[in-house]
Amino acid sequence: MKTAYVQQASDNGGLADASASGRAARRNGRVLRAKEPAFKSPGSSRTSADRSLIEALINSKVFQDYECAFTEATGLPVALRAVESWQLPHHGHRNESPFCAMVLETSRACASCLQVQEKLAAGAAEEAHTVSCPAGLCDTAVPVRLGDRLIGFLQTGQVFRKTPNQAQFERTLRLVAEWGVNVDFDKLKRAYFATPVVPTKRHEAVVRLLAIFAQHLSMLSNQVVLQQDKAEPPVITRAKEYIQEHQTENLRLGHVARAVNTSTFYFCKMFKKVTGINFTDYLSRVRVEKSKNLLLNPNLRISEIAFEVGFQSLTHFNRVFKKILGHSPTEYRAQLLGTSSVQNMVNFYQSR
């Protein structure tokens, strides 16, 4: 997998930038936002919905299982963060680099790290991307999508690509002093040289693991969208139940509105307000979710599955499926046949 590398400047100009960005960093243990991020969602409601979705994915058993497997296999931290996130993804988390934990004590250090995170997000919008911080540590991120929309990043890092030397540490020490970090010299040196070194082949395996995880999370995101039911009105709950029961039929908005005893106009407006998507999109997601289970049966043709779940044409089914999950039904089925690839990649990494 292609991975780009960007070296963050650590000269006096870089330090000036970090100082100017200090207002964006943590004060009293909190990260503050001082400027617009590299990416903006098309509306505040969508941005909020995407953040809620990322939070739901973080709390899902699937992600927690991935996190445990990844960390046990690699010894590295892994984090899932929203596109517009102004927090340090690994800070305070399990397997955070001891060196980073010691350094991130001042606003200037945090500001410099946030600048690196912004560059990482910009580079990882389409594919895996790696950047280096002023201290020489690398972070890597891969995009996570809901259909064709970028919603977040799966990220790991705080590693060296090659073993650091004394001269590199001395440059870093001067940089840390400029940031105003006051820590014990010997402890800092031990933490710096204890930072994991991940050579090229292992790093490629790490990136591949992240990409596999991201694909699975993208698929899981559709389920989360359908299951979100935060204090929804009873009429919407009944409507969802009716849709589940009649999804294979030629279902229309008016059918569901009558079933829950509301006008079409009122139901349409309320459904969009509560679920965040319109009726047609919701129905498509329900049908796609059912088709995912049917695709497990290799004896069923794609066309049979399309009509079984309620689509009126194979072309429409293919188009909607790819829009929601980012893959065609045929590609998704092929991935299902390779579900053991995650364990294979873990075994490969551990064998290096």
55: tokens are 């939070």
> What is the H or E stretch that residue 5 is in?
strand 4-7
pLDDT at 69: 86
Domains and CATH numbers, the chain: 4-224 (no CATH), 231-336 (1.10.10.60)
Percent of the chain with pLDDT strictly greater than 70 = 79
pLDDT at 218: 81
Say which DSSP state 109 is in.
H
Q: What is the pLDDT of residues 86-110, one digit of tens each?
A: 677 777 666 788 888 888 877 888 8
Pairing of strands 26-27, 30-31: antiparallel
Q: What is the pLDDT of residues 164-182, one digit of tens each?
A: 999 999 999 998 888 888 8
**Taking 60 as the threshold, does the pLDDT of residue 19 lie above it?**
no
Q: From CA 239, how far away is CA 257, in angstroms rounded?
A: 8
Give CA 153 to chain center in angstroms: 3
Type of residue found at 61: K
Of 8, 134, 139, the closest CA to residue 76 belongs to 139
pLDDT category at 9 given cuts 50, 70, 90 is very low
Which residues on neighbouring strands pair with residue 4, listed in sequence order?
A: 129
**Range ranked top by mean pLDDT from 61-75, 169-183, 228-242:** 169-183
> What is the H or E stretch that residue 187 is in?
helix 185-193
Q: From CA 300, how far away is CA 336, in angstroms rounded?
A: 14
pLDDT at 86: 66
Q: What counts of helices (H) and strands (E) characterise the chain?
A: 16, 7
CB atoms within 10 A of CB 88: 22
pLDDT at 229: 53
Q: What is the pLDDT of residues 128-178, one digit of tens each?
A: 999 999 999 999 999 998 877 888 999 998 899 999 999 999 999 998 888
pLDDT category at 277 given cuts 50, 70, 90 is confident
pLDDT at 239: 92
